[in-house]
Structure 1
Amino acid sequence: MAALIVALPAAAQAAETPIPASPATWVTDTAGVLDPATRSALNAKLSAYERSSGHQVIVWIGTTTGDAPLEDWTIRAFTAWKVGRKHLDDGLALFIFMQDRKVRIEVGYGLEGKVTDAKASRIARNEVAARLKRGDPNGAVTAGVDGLLAAIGGTDNAATDQNGQTGALQWTDALPLLLFFLVFAIFFGMLLSARRAMHGMYTIGRGGGMPFGGFWSSGSSGGFSGGGFGGGFSGGGGMGGGGGASAGW
């Protein structure tokens, strides 16, 4: 009984092993095992892949998960970092822990049909762990990324989610917006016609300026800042739990 009382706090502490802040780049190497050229090339490759396909694929290299079990740590990190697009859950992460000598691939639900557990296991064992065992971390991560991208395949930005909907904007989604602008155009045209008919009896705005000028001027001059690709990696709201595989060396 006393042993159980002691074990429970230890288990709770392991489950609460802190997860680092969301990475700012597609490849994060806190263990310092990648050379700068490899890290830069992989970041560029995964950034370009996200732009072309919409899928978020990241690499995170650390030393240890501490007392937390490998899969517990990686799924919590994957979820906390929101890898993949919201509702599509099409993210994928390659985790490597140098001190623990462990590899883990986490797959979002939206990609589990393409990156099956069997494929993930083969890549983790044959492409990543085998090269790490030979002392080649640069080759291991490069081969792992290439294998995962090949398994996902395609450059479909309109990836289908679990409800059969697509990530691209559908015409039915845009219909309310189109109706709004149609009504606005009709209303604005009526105002202009009334203005001409009254020969200046009524003015629209101070000094005859166009109405709703503030509405238009408050538009997109500041640019979109909702997690684009120019400033580095930013989680898209996805979730994990679609499977994966682990390996050691």
Structure 2
Amino acid sequence: MTTRTVSTPRPGFLSPAIHAVLTALALLLSCFAVFAAELPALTGRVVDNAGIIDASTKAALTQKLADFETKGSDQIVVATIPSLDGEEIEPYANRLFRFWKLGQAKENNGVLLLVAPNDRKMRIEVGYGLEGTLTDLHTKLIIENDMVPAFRAGDFSGGISKAVDDMVMVLEGNPEELEARGKRNPADSSTSIDPIVAVFLILWATLFFGGLAMAFLPPMFGTKLSPGVYRWLGMTFRYGRGPSGSSSGSSGWTTGSSGGGWSSGSSSSGWSSGSSSGGFSGGGGSSGGGGSSGSW
């Protein structure tokens, strides 16, 4: 009679592997915590953590933005940070917009002007509700005609003030002057794709490949702004479920900008306090990456 010996794993045999996995997860979670902590607190309508705006300009901007908000309820916040610490400005602005939750509930009418001087980059992030008013073209013109020349001359306060003036002008329904300036000072064509060419490529891809092309081309060749959101050929494509949780369709895409806004139930304008840092806080807005970026 043959005796068969069956070996069983020793207790704790998998513990080193499990310990390694748990350690890795803990480190990953701590990295995410540090990553989120890098975002500055929302302390007002002008958050100058880079120290590039002089005191008088900051006071004037704060008053101007408060008056503008009272008149029409749209929210504009100016923010400066010393550095992006290696992150691209588009996803950083997206995270900051979501973290600050700019804009009013159901209106999605927030705008973020972000400048990172050490990286020589700037961005204007536009809320969903303002996409049709403050368009990608407008934000591009503001960056290239107002901010870039002034920043190259070392005049951060002047460039930011001009940008705010033009954003207010457009949001108040007067974009003609900005558009006329854009025609007089056309942007460098080497930095962007001609709109006609972009439209032709989109139509060609749609006719020949249909929805399949739109499902694969932006993720393959575009820039990822956030989960399910890609930037390609100057347009924003959103896939799956939108940031508010409502379905945006399977492999759907949009040719407009995407932004964020307040998501609280408050319908009144103005800031709401109550953050743990004692600063201003938003009402639950999110941003999908609409707007324009630039550098100098």
Scaled to the shorter chain, the TM-score interval is 0.5 to 0.7
**3-state SS of the aligned residue for 1:99?**
helix
The separation in 2 between residues aligned to 1:25 and 1:16, in whole angstroms, is: 23
**Does 1:246 find its partner at 2:284?**
no
Specify whether residues 247 and 226 from structure 1 end up closer, same or farther in structure 2 by C-alpha distance, changes over 3 A only.
Answer: closer
The answer to whether the Cα contact below 8 Å between 1:82 and 1:236 also exists between their aligned partners in 2 is yes
In structure 1, the partner of 2:105 is: 86
- The 5-angstrom pairing of residues 167-186 of structure 1 reads none
The separation in 2 between residues aligned to 1:91 and 1:106, in whole angstroms, is: 8
The CA deviation at 1:238 is: 2.4
Specify whether residues 28 and 226 from structure 1 end up closer, same or farther in structure 2 by C-alpha distance, changes over 3 A only.
Answer: closer
Please say which structure displays the higher CA radius of gyration.
1
The CA deviation at 1:241 is: 2.1
The answer to whether the Cα contact below 8 Å between 1:123 and 1:144 also exists between their aligned partners in 2 is yes
- Paired letter, 2:272: G
The separation in 1 between residues aligned to 2:40 and 2:103, in whole angstroms, is: 16
The CA deviation at 1:51 is: 1.4
The separation in 1 between residues aligned to 2:279 and 2:67, in whole angstroms, is: 11
Specify whether residues 236 and 54 from structure 1 end up closer, same or farther in structure 2 by C-alpha distance, changes over 3 A only.
Answer: farther
Normalising by structure 2, what TM-score?
A: 0.53
In structure 2, the partner of 1:227 is: 272
The percentage of aligned residue pairs carrying the same residue is 35
Q: Please, which runs of 5 or more residues in structure 1 have no aligned partner? A: 1-8, 155-166, 170-224
The CA deviation at 1:14 is: 9.2
Specify whether residues 74 and 14 from structure 1 end up closer, same or farther in structure 2 by C-alpha distance, changes over 3 A only.
Answer: farther
The answer to whether the Cα contact below 8 Å between 1:62 and 1:96 also exists between their aligned partners in 2 is yes
**Does 1:125 find its partner at 2:170?**
no
The separation in 1 between residues aligned to 2:138 and 2:125, in whole angstroms, is: 12
Deviations 1:201-238 (A, max 9, x none): xxxxxxxxxxxxxxxxxxxxxxxx9817xx97432332
1:65 to 84, 88, 104: 84
2:123 to 60, 82, 104: 104
**3-state SS of the aligned residue for 1:105?**
strand
Specify whether residues 131 and 110 from structure 1 end up closer, same or farther in structure 2 by C-alpha distance, changes over 3 A only.
Answer: same
The CA deviation at 1:92 is: 0.2
The separation in 2 between residues aligned to 1:116 and 1:16, in whole angstroms, is: 34
In structure 2, the partner of 1:152 is: 171
The separation in 2 between residues aligned to 1:86 and 1:31, in whole angstroms, is: 30
The CA deviation at 1:23 is: 1.2
The answer to whether the Cα contact below 8 Å between 2:111 and 2:126 also exists between their aligned partners in 1 is yes
The answer to whether the Cα contact below 8 Å between 1:88 and 1:238 also exists between their aligned partners in 2 is no
In structure 2, the partner of 1:17 is: 35
**Does 1:113 find its partner at 2:158?**
no
The separation in 1 between residues aligned to 2:53 and 2:168, in whole angstroms, is: 20
The answer to whether the Cα contact below 8 Å between 2:46 and 2:61 also exists between their aligned partners in 1 is yes
**3-state SS of the aligned residue for 1:128?**
helix
- Higher mean alpha-carbon deviation, 72-81 vs 19-28, is at 19-28
Normalising by structure 1, what TM-score?
A: 0.62
The separation in 2 between residues aligned to 1:30 and 1:59, in whole angstroms, is: 11
**3-state SS of the aligned residue for 2:144?**
helix
Specify whether residues 226 and 24 from structure 1 end up closer, same or farther in structure 2 by C-alpha distance, changes over 3 A only.
Answer: closer
The separation in 1 between residues aligned to 2:127 and 2:288, in whole angstroms, is: 6
In structure 2, the partner of 1:213 is: none
**3-state SS of the aligned residue for 2:281?**
coil
The answer to whether the Cα contact below 8 Å between 1:132 and 1:140 also exists between their aligned partners in 2 is yes
The answer to whether the Cα contact below 8 Å between 2:74 and 2:109 also exists between their aligned partners in 1 is yes
Q: Please, which runs of 5 or more residues in structure 2 have no aligned partner? A: 1-26, 174-265
**3-state SS of the aligned residue for 2:35?**
coil
